[in-house]
Homo-oligomer: A and B are copies of this chain.
Amino acid sequence: MDITFNNDPKLSILLPVIYYAWQDDVLTNTEFTTISDFINGQDWLTKAEKAFLKSKITLSEPPSRSELFHWKEKINQAIDSNPKIGGLTDLGLLIANAERPAFSNEDITKIAPAFAKLESGLGIMGPEVISGFRRREKTLTQEHNTVESFNVQKMTDLLDGNQADIINKVKSIIGSEAFKLDIPTDVAEFREKVLQWCKLLADEGLGSYAYPKAQGGKDDIEGYFAIMETLSYHDLSLVIKFGVQFGLWGMSVMFLGTNKHFNKYLKGAGTLELPGCFAMTETHHGSNVKGIHTTATYNHADRTFIINTPEKYDRKEYIGNAANHGEMATVFAKLIIEGKDYGVNAFVVPIRNKNKEVLPGITIEDCGHKMGLNGVDNGIITFKNIVIPHEDMLDKFASVNEAGEFESPIPSDNRRFFTMLGTLVGGRIGIPRSALAASKTGLATTIKYSDKRRQFGPEGGNEVPILNYRMHQRRLMPYLANSYALTFGLQYLTKRFINRKEDEMQEIEALAAGLKAYTTWNARNTLQECREACGGKGYLSENRIDDLKNDTEIYTTFEGDNTVLMQLTAKNRLGEFRKQFGEMNVSTIFNYVVDKAKTSITEKNPIATRNTDEAHLKDPAFHLQAFQYREKEIVSSAARRFKKLVDDGLDAFDAANIMHPHMLQIADSYLDRVVLEQFQIKLQDTKDEALKEVLTRLYNLFALNKIGEHKAWYLEQGYMEGVKTKAVRKLVSQLCWEIRQDAVPLVDAFNIPASCLGAVATTKAAEA
């Protein structure tokens, strides 16, 4: 009679391999040949048996579906009968010996190696395949889910702090029907809508919030920043238009002008009855604002200034509020008195009348369509001998006296200009806080969607929420941690700015410049991950990630190009370092050596560099030491390197050029340390145990993820060894897995109006 698996049971020893070969989509024709060669080589098979087996692995004569199904049945029975099976051959044996022993133990020991070699030769990993055959009980990956381990409202209170009232007021406004988010693709329409929104906010008294009470304001700058940040959950064109009008225009008057200017302009600025611009940047002078060419020539005869654009590309470019709505502008220009240049000063210049007609001598072009922020009317302004009265020079830091002479408490033009800029540092606080809010909207949308969206799953089991995949967690959780860390970091910056003393200004400016770059780059990276993590949904405008991304894209450029700002921050840190370890410059580096010695004793010993205990890796003291070590080492090596380059006769400018990347690291390591410290302080201040616990997880992820990002540097320095950096990576992945359970409550704590979240964030699980 014919040979079959049933009437010749021992042949079943190959049944699992044959089934796998047909089922699996990885084996190639070569593998089929491999099996048939193997069969030929088995002397315990008769010619006929070999022929039969080979007939089962002939590509041109595949088994019928019912035959495959029958084989699978047998396999399942065998697996259920013995859960301990290790590989396909063991499985085959079990089937072959099912009724009566077809193979003795001697047989088995004889043939086993050949079968093992066959399996491995086919790249079959036994346990994996068996595990794949098995009918699943639930897996860890399926079981994992959202757990609310803390009180969300309490977390919101912790985040909002003393600004809760104004934050809630703004949220209720942007959540209202009037602020319904449907963004017109038509630019003109969009700009009008944004203007209307700004009017509504001004009517609510939000525009003048930072202005003196005398001019109808609340004299509350901290509140103003909270408004900027909270508005940023909504459309960002609105935020920037708001910032240009009430911040750049109004506050330039407030900080650079004196009482006469306040009375003349601030009220109208705050109510939006007097829309204005901030005209500093010129086409040919972007980052290098000190080099602007616009002139303000003083005429003593009638005590006026003549504002003029000398050459075409000395025009003011990218000026917000200029293309359509602005009536006034704070113009930065070089003051010329009797042919002598007295450096950059600020003047108030009218550009449109109440009928929105551009005034004679003023030319305004539209910057046209942009990558984002198309609700903001950016324009290009050219001045042709515009005459303004003496009183419209903003004269807090410099003025022209009765005698027509220049007067200033700060003789150096450089120094005066940077002092003026210093007062405008507020923009470098508002922008990162806005960027942070945008990141939070992106994270909230993405994490809520990922918690519901299911793709793939174990054979036969349900599909799994994509947020349960380690890779997905690894992409999103560190940014969630950053968003909390930066909340505390930027609150710190804001308080420093509000309570600033004269002598702290340079440090605060450096901190603001740095955190602006640090935060907007973080927003860029966060929103990129959000876009990709939402897949196709992340590409649909209804989910807002596109606008959040495109609008914040320019945040890395305006208010100072990030790369340039990081240089400023680094320059300040280097200066501070030189004062601290000044003697280095006269080439004894005593202090520093002592200091390094300390480090190496306490930290650089083998126990520390190889310490992989979880307790140690989660120790705030370890984090702070590691961050401080990186900061100090980078700045001191920069000082030495720079000195060497110049001592070797390199021009200081060339030396600085070579140092740029190194300088960026100075700023980055400094900012990492500052933010870490603020997170640590916040943890110490948190009393609620549940909040403290989840915040500690986030804190550890922030700290260890940063250390991981810089592990190459730590390894190069010998500050850590491979075993330790590997342990850090493992712990980061573990923390991501744990925080995944808190992720949804953690973004709920941002308490972002539902109308500002992407559509997918509010869909039911079944629809995700």
Contacts and interface: CB of A to CB of B under 8 A. Distances in A.
Q: Which of A406, A463, A502, A532 has most B Cβ within 10 Å? A: A532
A577 B26 CA distance: 13
A169 to B, nearest CB: 31
A709 to B, nearest CB: 9
A187 interface: yes
A321 to B, nearest CB: 16
A28 B418 CA distance: 12
A558 interface: yes
A141 B657 contact: yes
A369 B136 contact: no
A585 B126 contact: yes
A654 B281 CA distance: 55
A652 B140 CA distance: 11
Interface string A339-370: 00010000000000000000000000001111
A117 interface: yes
Contacts of A77: none
Contacts of A582: 117, 119-123
A327 interface: no
B412 A25 contact: yes
13 contacts: A24-B415, A25-B419, A68-B412, A116-B586, A120-B579, A121-B579, A127-B647, A136-B651, A313-B767, A475-B563, A532-B562, A535-B561, A715-B715
A642 B540 contact: no
A583 interface: yes
A531 interface: yes
Contact of A64 (B411, B415, B532): B411
Contacts of A556: 532
B131 A458 contact: no
A411 B371 contact: no
Interface in A530-574: 531-532, 535-536, 538-542, 545-546, 549-550, 553-554, 556-558, 561-563, 571-572
Contacts of A542: 368-369
A108 interface: no
A286 to B, nearest CB: 6
B406 A65 contact: yes
Interface string A400-411: 000000101111
A163 interface: no
Interface stretch (A199-207, A248-256, A597-605, A718-726): A718-726
Interface in A145-201: 185-187
Contacts of A30: 503
Q: Which of A119, A461, A585 has most B Cβ within 10 Å? A: A585
A62 B139 CA distance: 76
Nearest to A660: B471
Interface string A468-497: 111100110000000000000000000000
A91 to B, nearest CB: 15
A690 interface: no
Listed from nearest, the 3 A-B pairs whose CB atoms lie closest are A120-B582, A371-B546, A131-B652
A584 interface: yes
Contact of A503 (B28, B63, B541): B28
Contacts of A532: 556-557, 561-563
Nearest to A67: B411
A44 interface: no
A575 B651 contact: no
A258 interface: no
A410 B62 contact: yes
A65 B535 contact: no
A241 interface: no
Given A371-B531, A469-B660, 5 more contacts: A22-B412, A120-B583, A125-B585, A125-B642, A524-B528
B541 A369 contact: yes
A578 B123 contact: yes
Contacts of A650: 140
Contacts of A187: 185
Interface in A32-75: 59-60, 62-65, 68
Contact of A122 (B408, B553, B579): B579
Contacts of A457: 653
Contact of A25 (B63, B126, B415, B545): B415
A471 B121 CA distance: 51
A141 B653 contact: yes
A132 interface: yes
Contacts of A716: 711, 715, 722, 725-726
Contact of A725 (B412, B586, B712): B712
A85 to B, nearest CB: 13
Contacts of A370: 539-541, 546
A653 B139 contact: yes
Contacts of A369: 185, 540-542
Nearest to A286: B535
A506 interface: yes
B557 A651 contact: no
Contacts of A712: 711-712, 715, 725
Contact of A23 (B121, B414, B575, B717): B414
